[in-house]
Amino acid sequence: MFYEEIQKNKIKSWLLVCSFFIIISVLSYVILYYTYFGESAIILAFIIAIISSYITYYYSDSLVLTFSRARPVKKSEYPFLYNITEGLAIAAGIPKPKLFIIDDDALNAFATGRNPEHSVIVVTKGLLKKLNREELEGVIGHEMSHIKNYDMKFATLVVVLVGMVAILSRFFIRSQFWGNKKEKEGTSILFFIGILLAIFAPLFTRLVQLAISRKREFLADASSVELTRNPSGLINALKKISQNPSVKSASQVTAGLFISNPFNKQNFSKLFSTHPPIKERIKALEKMA
């Protein structure tokens, strides 16, 4: 089952990049054509799409780390974190991920990177302060499983690509109030397309994030237990995580990366949540105990 999920995630990642390449090309063309460049906009739009897709694929992890205000962790700061991560990486059969920390008292963590050889695990300072060793092992095991299953590659691409579409959409709306608008045949159709894309970008962002199946969280929980041989560690960790404050540097775009919804107050119904309810995850883990 795990190997099937890995293959599916690799395929979904490439399909996602191709889909967003088309969307970014169209949106860039509409913006450039309608505001400044006319017929030459199609060439510029194609160039923009190529560059943005390249940056997203190879540097999306660095962008996510910047968005999250994460910094590298020194081994001298938290040697136990390094020991746990090294041990679980050996058990998972993957290279040890780089370790970053968010200076926040909230309890949360996420993994990012394009493959196991270029992976990062990010934890909050609160997580390291308030979890005991077996609870921390459960959380790191969960994130290690996302890396091994290539979940984090797909999730990280989603974060950057949907953010890029949202930025382009907002730029198009704002550009209508300034700049050199061209009155040409067909412009009204392009303008209508641009308005539709701009209006539905936030909804599109949410739907794409939901396309990352919630099943991946259950799978990562199960994989964590397979690595640690201790379901109670992750169960107790999830209980503590669910009772703590929001991660200040988190956003609606990056929320899907975290082990649990990083917002204390739920602004969306269960239908539109990026994570399955923690109670359901705990119930599934208890069956493995």
pLDDT at 153: 74
What does the buried/exposed string (b/e) look like for 25-53 if buried means 16 or more CB atoms within 10 Å of the residue's CB? bbbbbbbbbbbebeeebeebbeebbeebb
Distance of alpha carbon 19 from alpha carbon 131, whole angstroms: 40
Residue pair 255/261 in contact by the 8 Å Cβ criterion? yes
Largest CA distance in the chain: 68
User: Helices 2-32 and 187-211 meet at what angle, rounded to 10?
Assistant: 160
- pLDDT band of 92, cuts 50, 70, 90: very high
The model's pLDDT over 126-164, given as tens digits with 9 standing for 90+, comes to: 999 999 999 999 999 999 999 988 887 777 777 777 777
Q: Say if residue 257's pLDDT is above 60.
A: yes
CA distances from 102 to 62, 159, 224, 240, 268 (A): 14, 18, 22, 18, 25
CA pair distance 143, 151, nearest whole angstrom: 9
Residue with the larger pLDDT of the pair 202 and 101: 101
How buried is residue 261: exposed, middle or buried, by Cβ count under 10 Å (0-12/13-18/19+)?
buried
Q: DSSP label at 253? A: T
- pTM score, two decimals? 0.77
Convert 216-231 to b/e letters by CB count within 10 Å (16 or more is b): bbebbbbbbbebbebb
pLDDT at 271 exceeding the cut of 60: no
For residue 114, pLDDT over 80 is answered with: yes
**Mean pLDDT comparison of 58-72, 133-147, 163-177, 245-259, highest-scoring range:** 133-147
Structure tokens at 101: 């920390």
Q: What is the C-alpha separation between 111 and 118, in angstroms, rounded?
A: 11
CATH: 3.10.20.30, 3.40.980.10, 3.40.50.720, 3.30.2010.10. Which one for 70-152+213-286?
A: 3.30.2010.10
What pLDDT is stored for residue 206 in this prediction?
62
In angstroms, the CA 225 to CA 161 distance is 32
Task: Kindly report, residue by residue over 6-32, the tens digit of the pLDDT.
Answer: 566 567 666 766 777 777 777 777 767
At 204, is the pLDDT very low, low, confident or very high (cuts 50, 70, 90)?
low
Model confidence at 35, pLDDT cuts 50, 70, 90, reads low
Q: Which residue numbers are catalytic?
A: 143
Of 188-192, 224-228, 241-245, the range with the lowest mean pLDDT is 188-192
- Per-residue pLDDT, averaged over 89-104, amounts to 95
Distance between CA atoms of 258 and 59, rounded to whole angstroms? 19
Which secondary-structure segment (H or E) carries 109?
strand 109-113
What pLDDT, on the 0 to 100 scale, is given for residue 184?
A: 46
Examine the pLDDT at 228 and tell me if it is beyond 80: yes
Residue 189 has pLDDT above 50, yes or no: yes
Assign 213 a pLDDT band (cuts: 50, 70, 90). low
Mean pLDDT of the chain: 79
Q: Say which residue, 182 or 10, is predicted with more confidence.
A: 10
Mean pLDDT within 234-246: 91
Q: What are phi and psi of 70, to 5 degrees?
A: -90, 150
pLDDT, residue 160, reads 74
